[in-house]
């Protein structure tokens, strides 16, 4: 697995909360500019994921890392920006997801 592939999959994961926030903004305002942002990030994230899998990173690892980063970051953004509730159970299950991804990487990498 190359460092560049890792950077691509991290970039893909970081696109998810941007997509989520822009989707929320579009749903709240129906502003076409937010709709454009939604469409852009709907394609940018998977494009970055595709770049990560062009090298030696297995698709299963790339996808699980992408989803876990997206899940963790979206939860964090929801908590900080939208005041979504977060408790110990949420943190525990997020840590379980991240632990599972690290484990998957260890056994496939």
Q: With cut-offs at 50, 70 and 90, classify the pLDDT of residue 102.
A: confident
- Domain range summary for the chain, segments of one domain joined by +: 3-108
Structure tokens at 18: 């941007």
43-48: list long-range contacts, CB under 8 Å, 24+ apart.
44/15, 45/12, 45/13, 45/15, 45/16, 45/19, 45/70, 46/12, 47/12, 48/8, 48/9, 48/11, 48/12, 48/15
**Do 41 and 22 touch, CB atoms closer than 8 A?**
yes
Confirm whether pTM is higher than 0.85.
no
Instruction: Quick: pLDDT tens for 31-82.
Output: 999 999 999 999 999 999 999 998 778 888 899 989 999 999 999 999 999 9
């Amino acid at each position: 697995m190359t460092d560049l592939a890792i950077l691509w999959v991290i970039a893909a994961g970081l696109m998810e909360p941007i997509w989520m926030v822009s989707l929320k903004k579009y749903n709240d305002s129906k502003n076409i500019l937010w709709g454009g942002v939604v469409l852009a990030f709907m394609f940018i994230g998977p494009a970055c994921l595709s770049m990560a899998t062009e090298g030696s990173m297995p698709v299963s690892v790339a996808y699980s890392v992408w989803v876990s980063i997206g899940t963790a970051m979206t939860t964090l953004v929801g908590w900080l920006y939208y005041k979504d509730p977060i408790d110990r159970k949420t943190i525990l299950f997020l840590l379980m997801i991240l632990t599972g991804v690290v484990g998957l990487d260890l056994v496939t990498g």
